[in-house]
């Protein structure tokens, strides 16, 4: 199983924080999950300027119809795509068929992702869209905690 690194206590969010989930952390500590931060895997440092989707969701980014901009207006689409590809590579390497990712993230959001306007849009993040297109079942940390 693949999980967002911030959910297991790694301070890798854009603001240098973590968002630990006790249940996800337990899976990781038991060796049942591999933790990834697609944004760091794509070469973005921590902390980093907040970023969001513009023109659509993660699926539209892969179709070339949307992009990811940070709050300074810099296009970081390529970094997000590179990180998503690396997350997919790691998922394949460990045989993951499922993922638990951080809700509302422009990378990891599941049905709700951050936009460049600072609002949430009803879309998957860039990594979630890629994983789903490759047959990996993705749920959010919020869905996991209530199940």
Q: Is the pLDDT of residue 52 over 70?
A: yes
Kindly report, residue by residue over 5-36, the tens digit of the pLDDT.
Answer: 999 999 999 999 999 999 999 999 999 999 99
Number of domains in the chain: 1
Distance CA 39, CA 34 (A): 16
Q: Is the pLDDT of residue 145 over 90?
A: no
Do the beta carbons of residue 22 and residue 57 sit within 8 Å?
A: no
CA dihedral for 147, 91, 101, 115, sign (positive or negative): negative
Distance CA 28, CA 15 (A): 23
Confidence of residue 147 (pLDDT cuts 50, 70, 90): low
What is the DSSP annotation of 18-69? ----HHHHHHHHTT--EEE-HHHHTT--SS---EEEESS-HHHHHTTS-EEE
Stretch 127-138: mean pLDDT? 99
For 30, left (φ over 0), alpha (ψ -120 to 50), or beta? alpha
CA distances from 75 to 69, 84, 129 (A): 5, 16, 19
Query: What does the pLDDT read at residue 146?
Result: 77
Stretch 129-142: mean pLDDT? 98
Task: Provide the 3-class DSSP secondary structure of residue 86.
Answer: helix
Name the pTM for this structure: 0.97
Q: Which DSSP category does 15 fall into?
A: T
Kindly report, residue by residue over 81-129, the tens digit of the pLDDT.
Answer: 999 999 999 999 999 999 999 999 999 999 999 999 999 999 999 999 9
* Residue 81 structural domain: 2-146
């Amino acid at each position: 199983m693949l999980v967002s690194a911030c959910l297991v206590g790694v301070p890798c969010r854009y603001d240098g924080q973590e968002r630990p989930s006790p249940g996800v952390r337990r899976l990781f500590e038991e060796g049942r999950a591999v933790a990834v931060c697609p944004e760091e895997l794509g070469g973005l440092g921590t902390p980093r300027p907040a970023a969001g989707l513009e023109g659509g969701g993660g699926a539209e980014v892969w179709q070339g119809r949307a992009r990811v901009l940070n709050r300074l207006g810099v296009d970081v689409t390529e970094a997000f795509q590179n990180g998503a590809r690396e997350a997919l590579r790691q998922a394949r390497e460990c045989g993951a068929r499922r993922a638990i990712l951080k809700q509302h993230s422009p990378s990891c959001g599941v049905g709700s992702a951050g936009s460049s306007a600072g609002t949430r849009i009803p879309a998957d993040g860039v990594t979630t869209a890629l994983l789903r297109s490759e047959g990996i079942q993705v749920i959010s940390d919020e869905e996991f905690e209530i199940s």
